[in-house]
Amino acid sequence: MKNVKEIVIEKSLLVIAMSAIFMLFLIAVFIFKEGTPLIFKIGFKNFFSAKWSPLEDQFGIFAMILGSIYVTAGALVLGVPLGLACAIFLCEFVSRKVMAILKPTIELLAGIPSVVYGFIGVVVLVPFIREHLGGPGLSMLAGSIILGIMILPTIISISIDSIQAVPRSYREGSLAMGATKWQTIIRVVLKAARSGIVASIILGMGRAVGETMAVIMVAGNAVKIPHSILDPVRTLTTNIALEMGFAAGDHRAALFATGVILFIIIMILNVLANFVFGREK
């Protein structure tokens, strides 16, 4: 039988957990309450058009959806190969002592404020792109590179945990059958850890989609459909951050509606990550 102290602690922890869920529920209700009326007011066709001009009551977010997709895709193109390669190297080619030092160090990168990444991008990356590749420098390419670096800790950390969870017997069995170490890694270890690796990619994608400050500083924030990686873009998150301070009326509601779309995207990515990661277990 549980004593009174254990029961009190258990119920207290339950209340704390439920309060966190309740707060998330309230946030979701507030965003949807403020944003969805505008979507129905102007119609889905107008809301998902490419024309964003609040002064003319035009609230199309298609260009910003494309901007978010392109920047996130570029970040994944850079971050996934580097992150996965780093995870493989740390798990399979270095000693445990080195691993014990490098893994926490990499995870510390996740704690660096995004404005620091953005500042480095403005000072170093943007001028480099402008001088060597052309264009204004503030571009989709700059945003993708910065986000690619920012999602590395997420991808590396979860991928390492997934690779380490693969039983040692898998490696030994593969090597005993004549496979090289590299063949064992590619055809056995990575396949066994693929669920966790996919989950890390999805969570990294969610981080990239939701990032604001660094993208504001390096992406250019032009509300137009990009036709080149050197064109400036505006994402959904940066649109909210840039205009919420002076928005009113339908303009303010349109920003909340943008938040509704962003909320749905992030929730879908998190559900997918939990589903994929759960399958591994």
Q: What is the pLDDT of residues 207-227, one digit of tens each?
A: 888 888 899 999 988 888 888
Asked if residue 70 belongs to a domain, the reply is: yes
Cα separation, 232 vs 218, whole angstroms: 9
pTM: 0.85
Give the residue from 136, 165, 163 showing the smallest Cα distance to 232: 136
Is 10 part of any domain? yes
Across the chain, what does the average pLDDT equal? 87
Classify 169 as helix, strand or coil: helix
Closest CA to 125 of 145, 109, 104: 145
Does 145 have pLDDT greater than 90?
A: yes
DSSP 8-state symbol, 135: S
Whether residue 56 has pLDDT greater than 80: yes
Q: How many CA atoms within 13 Å lie on the side-chain side of 226?
A: 26
Q: What's the total number of domains in the chain?
A: 1
The structure tokens listed for 257 are: 């509606």
- Check whether 269 has a pLDDT greater than 90: no
Report yes or no: 59 and 46 within 8 Å, Cβ to Cβ.
Answer: yes
Position 151, amino acid: I
When pLDDT is cut at 50, 70 and 90, the band that residue 276 belongs to is low
| Domain extent at residue 181 | 6-280
Average pLDDT for residues 163-167, to the nearest whole number? 89
pLDDT of residue 41: 87
3-state secondary structure of 247: coil
Q: Which residue has the higher pLDDT, 11 or 142?
A: 142
Q: Write the single-letter amino acid at 17.
A: A
For the cut 80, the answer to whether the pLDDT of residue 278 exceeds it is: no
Please give the pLDDT value at position 155: 92
Mean pLDDT within 8-36? 88
Residue 199 has pLDDT above 90, yes or no: no
Q: Is the pLDDT of residue 70 over 80?
A: yes
Q: Determine the average pLDDT of the residues in 243-255.
A: 87
Question: Is the per-residue pLDDT at 195 higher than 90?
Answer: no
Helix axis angle, 236-243 to 194-210, nearest 10°: 30
SS3 sequence, 50-98? CCEEHHHCEECCHHHHHHHHHHHHHHHHHHHHHHHHHHHHHHHCCCHHH
Q: Is residue 1 part of a domain?
A: no
- CATH number, residue 245: 1.10.3720.10
Beta carbons of 64 and 239 less than 8 angstroms apart: yes
The confidence score (pLDDT) of residue 156 equals 92
Instruction: Name the pairing type of β-strands 52-53 and 58-59.
Output: antiparallel
**Range from 5-9, 125-129, 138-142, 172-176 carrying the lowest mean pLDDT:** 5-9
pLDDT value at position 127?
Answer: 93
pLDDT band at 1 (very low <50, low <70, confident <90, very high): low
pLDDT tier for residue 141 given thresholds of 50, 70 and 90 = very high
Judge contact between 38 and 257, C-beta under 8 A.
yes
In the predicted structure, residue 118 carries a pLDDT above the cut 80: yes
Please compute the mean of the pLDDT values over residues 242-261 and round it to a whole number. 88
Instruction: Give yes or no for a contact between 31 and 256, defined as CB atoms under 8 angstroms apart.
Output: yes
Task: Write the DSSP assignment of 176-208 as a string of letters.
Answer: HTT--HHHHIIIIIHHHTHHHHHHHHHHHHHHH
- pLDDT > 90 fraction of the chain, expressed in percent and rounded: 26
What's residue 277's pLDDT? 59
Tell me if residue 262 falls in helix, strand or coil: helix
HSE (side-chain half, CA atoms, 13 Å) at 72: 24
For residue 157, is pLDDT > 80? yes
